[in-house]
Amino acid sequence: MPHDLFGGALVQRQSRSARRRSLTIFSVALHTVVVALIVIVQVFAVGPLPFPRRPMVFEEIRLVHLASIAVPPPPRRAAGTQTALVSPGAPTIEPRSIMPETGIENVTSGTPAGAVVGLEHGIAGFESIGPAEALPPPTPLPQLPVHLHKGIEAPKKIADVTPTYPSIAQAAHVKGMVILEAVIDVHGNVTSVQVLRSVPLLDQAAVDAVRQWRYTPARLNGQPVPVVVTITINFSMQ
């Protein structure tokens, strides 16, 4: 009896599996047929094609009227006015007669150095502006000082002033070397002094002394020139 029950349950289980397999195959086949039908209908169902949109074209033509604008006449010159004098160039037409000389035939457009400016006898249509005056001589530009180099005759000191050792520096036992840069003009005078190497308690004494020194002018090609020189003053306690 138990053997029969076991055998019956096994047969039922196999039959259920067979039904499920059959349903799965049938479902797959049915879906395949439906999908194939949809594809075939889409391929062979040809409907009306969409009408393409009309491009935007401006077909309206308008005539443009060009208005003519009248050019205004040139302004009238007041009575008695004189036209500007233009320096004539070389004549290209043979003159009909010989005109009297005016005295300005050979005047050029440029004014050479030392020329006379002004009109003493006047021009046709213009009155005389008085006697002519000569141009003033140009003002010479100041020369810039240059550093001593080969070719410049070095200045020589002709007036010397010994720097005063400050008492406060002596009391503090301060000593050292002060280096200055001085400008000597074309007359041999010291016009400016600048400290290059400083010793705070000794700088002013060195500057005050160098400002009183006098030199012979430095010369370049025989002409006096301003120069820049370096001066070293050593303060020591002996």
Digit-coded pLDDT (tens) for 142-196: 788 998 888 899 999 999 999 999 999 999 999 999 999 999 999 999 999 999 9
Sequential DSSP letters for 114-148: T-EES-SS--TTS----S-EEPPPPPPPPPPPEE-
Domain ranges of the chain: 1-37, 147-235
* Per-residue DSSP letter, 189: B
What band does 41 get if pLDDT is binned at 50, 70 and 90? confident
- For residue 77, pLDDT over 70 is answered with no
Strand, helix or coil for residue 177: strand
pLDDT above 70 covers a percentage of the chain that reads 61
Range name among 5-19, 80-94, 114-128, 211-225 with the lowest pLDDT average: 114-128
Tokens 């349903």 belong to 23
Mean pLDDT across 188-205: 94
**Dist CA 60 CA 143 (whole Å):** 80
CA dihedral (153, 154, 157, 163) in degrees, to 10, reads 170
Tokens 């059959």 sit on residue: 22
- Give the mean model confidence (pLDDT) for residues 25-42: 86
CATH 3.30.2420.10 applies to domain 147-235: yes
User: Would you state the pLDDT for residue 86?
Assistant: 47
Q: Hey, CA dihedral for 145, 151, 156, 161, is it positive or negative?
A: positive
Q: Strand ranges (DSSP E) for the chain?
A: 116-117, 133-134, 146-147, 152-153, 157-159, 176-184, 190-197, 214-215, 218-220, 223-225, 227-235
> What pLDDT, on a 0 to 100 scale, did the predictor assign at position 84?
46
pLDDT at 65 over 50: yes
Q: Which residue has the higher pLDDT, 102 or 182?
A: 182
* Whole-structure pTM value: 0.43
| Predicted pLDDT at 185 | 94
What rounded mean pLDDT belongs to the chain? 76
Give me the residue label for tokens 């005389």. Answer: 128
Largest CA distance in the chain: 166
In angstroms, how far is the first alpha carbon of the chain from the final one?
A: 144
Whose structure tokens read 């810039």?
Answer: 144
- What pLDDT shows up at residue 190? 95
